Every structure is written in structure tokens, then in C-alpha cells.
């Protein structure tokens, strides 16, 4: 079909605010952001007339403030009878996020499919989800990663998973989770879910007795997110003990290598684009201080809903949070023991679970910091301010409280922890904005 032979980057295009320059022809049109990501696809018998008062123009115009939006098109004057069919082909091929969003919803951010997938997997890891295995060749099905979540009698985490996927599906993203089967309410109402990323299907099912496999599990990653996984021995034992299972999963094997590899690539690299590689700009780290020297910094105290946050300023204009502050906000302890609490290892593990790969390879180190204006010297690990915000946002409360926060109905209560108050505030704000206000 036509959709398989088109290179969107080679199509004629105009800037969104110059839509009056569009031609008068039947067409399939593609709306893209400055990264070339297709965010909307439509069809029309007259392109310029369609865009005179397009129902998504104001929505896209708001989005255009953050990224340059362009309209590309394929002239289809000879294919008017199959315009609808062509549009569906392209939508199924590119899965543009706005084709599944409401027109009235403001477009503030397009969430890349990989980011939405990583956010989903990280939440699943918190529910003790395990990787059952990987079937690279399935009859009339794409390669499939099978995940299992625990069920305890008629109880489980299905409700929390349903809430998680509901929030993921609300995002303007091409990745969507579909509940393709649900057990009857009398049986616990457990959901069976699936999604697809880059031609790989991910299947999530409930499993009674999964807890018995956790102690002997291995660790594997999917899209860079670490999950518990069945070992080859566990899969073989299960096949032996469950009649007829071998026929159903004859091609299933224990997962070894990540089927959705994520690699940190310098943006200046000349490497060719790959659909399996996400290009990001590595974070600029502070150079380590010579042995015996202290790092001179200044600091400023911010207050968010009663939570005190100390922000350290380096001479190069970068802002950091000391790990002691992070530890107090997250765990209520001001001075964690570096050895007993395994500070560096814990920070590395937390960052590896973030739904972003910007921080991959970031080196944590203890160093001596001196605040000249207070004549105070401390030993600490510095976290970039943005990393600190990501770590706070990673630890979302879930359930009804999360729904209140995301809907804007949340009001802080005296017993709410500092992490919950800060998580709620960071949904619509940034600590850097407070710094700019105070500096001005």
C-alpha cells in the first residue's frame, strides 16, 4: 500500500502559522513537532480549506509555543475514494498521540512512547510484577514479552494496575494499554492487558501463587527498567508441573537480553538513527575536586507547603540538592549513615529506575562542601536539581490520593509526608522557578 513507501521527512510542508500557504488539493496530512515526531494525522478533499478553521488549530497553536509545529502532506487527488482507508493505514502505522486525545484538552507535552512505557514498567515493578519470558516468534503475533502480576486468593493489585494504566493512557502519547480480558467479579475481576512498542507486544496477566517464585527469581530489564524475572530453571519446573502448559508456551524462553535496548548516545554523534536507540544529551557533571580540597558553594532555602528545601549553587550557575535533604524528605532521616544506608548504591538504583535515561552513567561521589557565607563545612553527595525533582516525582503515592493530586483536588493535610506535599506541588511547578523569583 501507499503508506509503506512514504518518507515523511521528504514530503512538502509548511509551518503551522503559515497554513494559508497550503495547496488546494485532496490530501492526507501529517502534523509534526520539531523532533519530527508525528503527533496528528488527518484527511481532507481540500487541504487549504480544511486548515482555515481546523478543529485542532488552537490546541496545536498552544503546543507550538514550545516546539515548532509543521504540516506535511501527500496529494491524493487520484485516491479520493480510498482517503479514509489511507488515513487509517497511516494512523495504525505511526500511532500519532493526538488522534486519541480530546480536542478540548490543552497540549502541554507529548510523552514519547518509550517514556510512557518506562513509566508503566516502573510502576509494575513496584507491584512485584515478574517477567515470565519472551517469545520471539509467535504464530501471526508480534514478538511478545510476557509479564505476570501476583494474585492472592481473590485479592491482588489489579485495581492499582488499572489505575496506573488509566493515568498512562491519559497522556498524549502513542503508547496505550488495552484491557483485552477481565475475569468475572466473582473471581476477583483481574485484568489482562497488552500494549505494543516498536513491533514488540507486551502482555500482562494475573498469576495465582506468583509469590512462590520471587525468592529464586533473577533480575532482567525491559526498556531499561529492572524487573524480577523467571529463570530458565523455574520455567522448566513450571512446565513439568502444569499439564498441557508446554504446548502453549513451546517457543517461550527466559528473558536474557533486553528486547527494547536503551542506549545513552551523545547528541553530536554521527551514528545513524535507530528505532531502538533513544538519543539524549548526557547531563553535564561537576568535575571532581582534587584530593584535600573543598567545593565552595552558596545556598538558598526554599519553602514549599511547609517543606524546607536547601538548594546549593555552584560557581558555574548549576543548582544542586544535597543527598541529606533528599533522604530527609523521602525517609524522614536527616543524617543517613553512608555505609549502613549504602548511600551511593541506593542513589544509583533510584536513578536507574527513573522513567528517563538522561541520568544514565551519572557518577555519585561524596565530597566536602563549604558554604563560605555561613562558614559551614559538610560532606555530602550532590544531586542536580532536576534529578532531585525526578526522584520525588518517581515516588508517587498511587491510588485515590494520586487521582486527587492529578485532578487538582488535593489539599495538604497535617499528617501528609514531606514527599507527598512536594510531589503534589511538582505536578505543576518547578523549584527553579522559585529560584528565579527569589533572585529577581
> What would the pLDDT profile of 102-131 be if each residue is shown by its tens digit?
776 666 677 888 888 998 998 898 888 999
pLDDT given for residue 1 in this prediction: 45
Average pLDDT of the chain to the nearest whole number: 82
Q: Scan for cell 503508506, then name that residue.
A: 3
Give the pLDDT score at 108. Answer: 66
Q: What is the pLDDT of residue 278?
A: 40
Q: Which of 29-33, 237-241, 369-373 has the highest mean pLDDT?
A: 29-33
In this model, does residue 168 exceed pLDDT 50?
yes
pLDDT of residue 103: 72
Is residue 422 very low, low, confident or very high in pLDDT (cuts 50, 70, 90)? very high
Each residue of 364-414: pLDDT tens digit? 889 999 987 878 899 999 999 989 998 998 877 777 888 888 777 888 888
Distances in whole angstroms, Cα of residue 3 to Cα of each of 6, 83, 86, 390, 418: 6, 12, 7, 38, 51
Give pLDDT tens digits for 241-256.
766 554 555 566 778 8
Encode 187-214: b = buried (16+ Cβ within 10 Å), e = exposed.
Answer: ebebbebbbbbeebbbbbbbbeebeebe
Looking at the predicted structure, is the pLDDT value of residue 438 above 80?
no
Cβ neighbours, 10 Å, residue 106: 10
pLDDT in tens, 188-210: 788 999 999 888 899 999 988 88
**If DSSP codes are grouped into helix, strand and coil, which group holds residue 288?**
coil
Q: How confident is the model at residue 265 (pLDDT cuts 50, 70, 90)?
A: very low
Percent of all residues in the chain with a pLDDT value above 70, rounded to a whole number: 85
Read off the C-alpha cell for 7.
Answer: 518518507
Cell of 321: 540538592
The CA–CA distances, whole Å, from 356 to 99, 145, 280 equal 24, 21, 10
pLDDT over threshold 60, residue 172: yes
How far apart (Å, rounded) are the C-alpha atoms in residues 303 and 306?
Answer: 6
Name which of 76, 78, 66, 117 is nearest 95 in CA terms: 117
Mean pLDDT within 263-292: 50
- What is the per-residue pLDDT for 310? 94
130-158: pLDDT as tens digits: 999 888 875 567 889 999 998 876 667 78
Residue 227 has pLDDT above 80, yes or no: yes
What integer is the mean pLDDT of 74-83? 86
Which of the pair, 110 or 304, is modelled with greater confidence? 304
What pLDDT digit, counting tens, does each position of 307-346 carry?
999 999 887 778 999 999 999 999 888 888 888 888 998 8
| Rounded CA Rg of the chain | 25
Amino acid at each position: 500500500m501507499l503508506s509503506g513507501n512514504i518518507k515523511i521527512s521528504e514530503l512538502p510542508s509548511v509551518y503551522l502559522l503559515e497554513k494559508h500557504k497550503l495547496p488546494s488539493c485532496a490530501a492526507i496530512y501529517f502534523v509534526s513537532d520539531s523532533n519530527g515526531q508525528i503527533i496528528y494525522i488527518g484527511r481532507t478533499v481540500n487541504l487549504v480549506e480544511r486548515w482555515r478553521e481546523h478543529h485542532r488549530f488552537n490546541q496545536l497553536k498552544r503546543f507550538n509555543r514550545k516546539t515548532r509545529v509543521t504540516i506535511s502532506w501527500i496529494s491524493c487527488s487520484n485516491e479520493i475514494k480510498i482517503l479514509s482507508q489511507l488515513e487509517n493505514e497511516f494512523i495504525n502505522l505511526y500511532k500519532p498521540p493526538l488522534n486519541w486525545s480530546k480536542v478540548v484538552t490543552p497540549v502541554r507535552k507529548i510523552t514519547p512512547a518509550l517514556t510512557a512505557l518506562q513509566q508503566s514498567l516502573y510502576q509494575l515493578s513496584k507491584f512485584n510484577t515478574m517477567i515470565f519470558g519472551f517469545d520471539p516468534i509467535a504464530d501471526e503475533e508480534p514478538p511478545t514479552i510476557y509479564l505476570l502480576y501476583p494474585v492472592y486468593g481473590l485479592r491482588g493489585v489489579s485495581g492499582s494496575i488499572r489505575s496506573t494504566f488509566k493515568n498512562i493512557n491519559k497522556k498524549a502519547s502513542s503508547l496505550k494499554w488495552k484491557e483485552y480480558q477481565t475475569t468475572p467479579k466473582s473471581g476477583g475481576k483481574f485484568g489482562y492487558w497488552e500494549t505494543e512498542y516498536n513491533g514488540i507486544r507486551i502482555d500482562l496477566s494475573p498469576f495465582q501463587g506468583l509469590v512462590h517464585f520471587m525468592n529464586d527469581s533473577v533480575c532482567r530489564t525491559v526498556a531499561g527498567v529492572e524487573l524480577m524475572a523467571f529463570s530458565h530453571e523455574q520455567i522448566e519446573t513450571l512446565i513439568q508441573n502444569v499439564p498441557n502448559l508446554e504446548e502453549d508456551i513451546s517457543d517461550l524462553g527466559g528473558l536474557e537480553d533486553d528486547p527494547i535496548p536503551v542506549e545513552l548516545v551523545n547528541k553530536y554523534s554521527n551514528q545513524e538513527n535507530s528505532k531502538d536507540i533513544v538519543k539524549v544529551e548526557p547531563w553535564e557533571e561537576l568535575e571532581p575536586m582534587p584530593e584535600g580540597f573543598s567545593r565552595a558553594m552558596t545556598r538558598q532555602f526554599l519553602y514549599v507547603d511547609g517543606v524546607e528545601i536547601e538548594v546549593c549553587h555552584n560557581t558555574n550557575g548549576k543548582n544542586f540538592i544535597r543527598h541529606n535533604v533528599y533522604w530527609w524528605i523521602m525517609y524522614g532521616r536527616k543524617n543517613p549513615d553512608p555505609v549502613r544506608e549504602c548511600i551511593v548504591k541506593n542513589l544509583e538504583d533510584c536513578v536507574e529506575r527513573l522513567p528517563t535515561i538522561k541520568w544514565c552513567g551519572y557518577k555519585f561521589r561524596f565530597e566536602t562542601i563549604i558554604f563560605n557565607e555561613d562558614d559551614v563545612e559538610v560532606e555530602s553527595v550532590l544531586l542536580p536539581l532536576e534529578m532531585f525533582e525526578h526522584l520525588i516525582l518517581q515516588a508517587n503515592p498511587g491510588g485515590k490520593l494520586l487521582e486527587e493530586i492529578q485532578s487538582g483536588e488535593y489539599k495538604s493535610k497535617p499528617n501528609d509526608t514531606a514527599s507527598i506535599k512536594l510531589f503534589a506541588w511538582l505536578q505543576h511547578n518547578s523549584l527553579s522557578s522559585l529560584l528565579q523569583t527569589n533572585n529577581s
